[in-house]
Amino acid sequence: MVSRTKNPVPFAAWEPDKAKISGAVREAKGVISSAGRYVPLLDLTAYHANARMPDTCIGAGSFYSASNAIKIMLASASSIYHLVNRVPVDISKSGGYTASRDWVWDFEQFGDYVVAVGRGVAPQVYQLGVSSLFGDLPGSPPQADCVFRVKNQLVLGSGRTLSWSAFNDITTWTPDTALQSGTTDLDQNGGRIVAGVGGELGMVFQERSISRMTYVGPPTTWVIDQIEDRRGAMGPHAVTKYGRHAFYVSEDGFWVFDGVVSRPIGANRIDKWFLDRLNYPYRHRISTAFDSQTKTIRVAFPSSGSTLPNELLIYSIPDDRWTHDEITTQVLFDMPREGVSIDDTAGITALFGTANIDELAVSLDSPSWSEQRRRAAAVAADGTISVFEGAARAARIDIGDAEVMPGRMGYVSEVWPVLDATPASVTVTPLSRSKTLSDTQTVHTGSVMQSDGHCPVRVDARYLSARVEIAAGTSWTEASGMHWDGEPSGQR
């Protein structure tokens, strides 16, 4: 009697740093990990037909006015813009700027004020609901590479120097114990200050260290403790906050810092893959963004030969799993979804099922008209301001090598993907190794899924892998794994 096996293979985590036969998925491209399975990664689509930056974007942020109105700002080396009806409008100070193109603009909100800093430029300020243009921040603040707010004070970082404003006053910068403004130099072994994260505590990221700012009041104002040594952030946008944690990209991979200790989230999984690919001289182009709907952190980085970020990593916070794709962007950022206005007929219909005001059972000041969820967005390679809400990207999942029949050669005739895509859009390509893992992997002819859900194959191998591909634009919701029918070779 022929001994047959039906081998179930769930789609495990994508961990390219692990061994070929570890069980890890060898490729997870064009997908997002969600609740232990893979779902589509949506493509970038233009935020508006005319939402295009006239020059390379090197900074972006979104802010709320006191009336809860959303203000989205972006910056190039020469100008700062905000979106009016989703189209960039220049709001630079008269004469514009000559900020360094080899760094970024950094934005922070302090009450009704938005402060922007760029290397080589005096800090800029814009009052929401009042200003028409940015202008120099009063009080002679120092030029800075990064800006962030901690409790009731604004903090600037430049070189190794950390400066903070007077208490609840961003226009006073001369050190004054009574006013609680001040300045200090951080440890030179840590390198330049590249980023900061605020909140109840301040997290200061240098190139090679992380410090914590704790408010103690006058005369000291802040106690600054170095928490991490020989580990910092790769660049000014390589840090993003979610909750009380800061996600960051360091010289040795991916970490999460809670103000007390850093936890690795890429070690022995993707850190080596990433560091081998990174175009290191352009590490300052790394940017990160949080997407609330998918609960993911997106990381854009330039790989070898590219000066713009041309690869995208996606980290699922609930799943603690990674995926990736190849998408060229200028910068990533996150922004709120815009609420629906009374003139937006399509939006009203989508929310309430009708655009007839007389039929609506909600008041005009109802929360139903507003949005709070933050989504990942990007400035695409051509300068188009875009959101990840297009059609599904082409998906590819490669399982790791597994033995067909433990200890001997095996034959496989069918592979059954476990997913809900239209069969005609799914292709399975077997990949095999004859005797040992050192054998060159043979890529066999791919097979389109049949209407009953199986893909016919003919493979004799000791070690078998399989590549599942779903065509771009396909409507699907999940891919969980596959199974194959195997038997000892020579017994079919």
Give me the amino acid identity at 237: H
- Contact, 452 vs 424, CB < 8 A? no
Within 13 Å of residue 185, how many CA atoms lie on the same side as its CB? 5
Q: What is the DSSP letter of 405?
A: B
> Cα(413)–Cα(411) distance, rounded to whole angstroms?
7
Per DSSP, what are the bridge partners of residue 215? 222
3-state secondary structure of 341: coil
Spatial CA neighbour of 257 closest among 284, 237, 227:
227
Segment-wise mean pLDDT, segments of 10 residues, the chain, 492 residues: 62 94 93 97 94 96 88 96 94 96 95 97 97 97 97 97 98 97 96 94 96 95 94 95 93 95 96 97 95 95 95 98 98 80 60 66 59 84 96 96 84 92 96 83 93 92 92 97 84 55
Q: Residue 2 has what pLDDT? A: 46
Give me the amino acid identity at 198: G
Q: What is the DSSP letter of 342?
A: T
Q: What's the longest Cα–Cα distance across the chain?
A: 90
Q: Residue 9 has what pLDDT? A: 84
- Contact, 320 vs 265, CB < 8 A? yes
Q: Residue 491 has what pLDDT? A: 60
Question: Read out DSSP for 96-134?
Answer: -----TTS-EEEEEETTEEEEEETTS--EEEETTT-SS-
**Phi, psi (degrees; rounded to nearest 5) at 276:** -65, -30
Residue 212 CB coordination number (10 Å): 18
Q: Residues 66-106: pLDDT tens digits? A: 888 889 999 999 999 999 988 999 999 999 999 999 999 99
Spell out the residues 6+ positions from residue 267 whose beta carbon is closer than 8 angstroms to its own: 253
Q: What is the DSSP letter of 142?
A: P
Spatial CA neighbour of 465 closest among 418, 491, 425, 428:
428
Residue 96, both tokens? 């514009």
- Contact, 384 vs 427, CB < 8 A? no
Spatial CA neighbour of 449 closest among 431, 418, 427, 467:
427
Q: For the chain, what's the residue count?
A: 492
Q: Which domains does the chain have, with CATH numbers?
A: 5-34+393-488 (2.60.120), 45-338+371-387 (2.130.10.10)
Q: Residue 486 has what pLDDT? A: 79
> Cα(240)–Cα(242) distance, rounded to whole angstroms?
7
If you search the block for the tokens 């352009």, which residue do you land on? 282
Question: Read out DSSP for 252-283?
Answer: TEEEEE-SS-EEESSTTTTHHHHHHHB-GGGG
Per DSSP, what are the bridge partners of residue 314? 298, 323
If you search the block for the tokens 């939006």, which residue do you land on? 347
Torsion of CA 328, 378, 37, 446, to 10 degrees: -30
